[in-house]
Amino acid sequence: MLKLYFTHKTRSGRVVWLLEELGLEYELVKLEFSKEGLKSEEHRKRHPLGRVPVLEDGDVTIFESGAIIDYILERHKNGGLKPAVDAPEFPYYLQWFHYVEGMIMPPINEIVVQTVLLPPERRSEDALNKALKLLAKAMKPVNEALEGKDYIVGDFSGADIMLGHAAFMANLSVPFGDDMPNLKAYVARIAARPAFDYAINLK
Ligand SMILES: N[C@@H](CCC(=O)N[C@@H](CS)C(=O)NCC(=O)O)C(=O)O
């Protein structure tokens, strides 16, 4: 059975969300967001940096949320929730899927570091402001791409698992304003999906 190493309020929620959308059976191993929970010798054998998510499937142990999502879609869902390689949507599916960790998550990581993870005396307002500006810049093309659409590429897909989770998290830190109406509606649409609601509230 698939085994997912999970920590509340992290990218491991993406994988729970996907598994729930697909109705796949899985075992959940909950780890605390702490040195003891994530940096143990045992967990570092699964992920060299001691991070989540990690998925085990028989003798496969795989990390990186995007890789895990693609792995599940290929090995356990026969390409479901993903356009066919020769479909016109396919290149854009790949583009938005990878845009999330490549362009959206770096400023979100910095915002979390500067507002939550660092002790107040080590926080930098300059670094925070730069990250907020970068995030707004990275989100603008997403808002434009969502014009007239419910999901980022055609039907609900793996790209929405990546993007929906990141957009929901971004909206928690800095709520999308009236200049991002499509993203605002998209986050509400994502939040209304029962599988997402389950995953995001799982502790
Ligand atoms: N690019 C990786 C990022 C993994 C990652 O940084 N996970 C965070 C939680 S969202 C983590 O485990 N942080 C623990 C730490 O930094 O010690 C992915 O998409 O899986």
Distance 200 CA to ligand 1 centre (A): 16
**Cα angle 54-202-162, degrees, rounded to a multiple of 5:** 55
10 CA closest ligand 1 atom index:
10
CATH number given to 90-200: 1.20.1050.10
Extract the residue ranges of the chain whose pLDDT is less than 70: none
Domain ranges within the chain, ordered by starting residue: 2-81, 90-200
pTM of the model: 0.97
Measured from CB, residues less than 6 Å from any atom of ligand 1 are: 10-11, 38, 50-53, 64-66, 101
Closest CA to 69 of 149, 153, 152, 165: 165
**pLDDT at res. 41:** 97
Domain 2-81 has CATH 3.40.30.10: yes
Burial of 192 (0-12, 13-18, 19+ CB in 10 A): exposed
12 CA closest ligand 1 atom index:
10
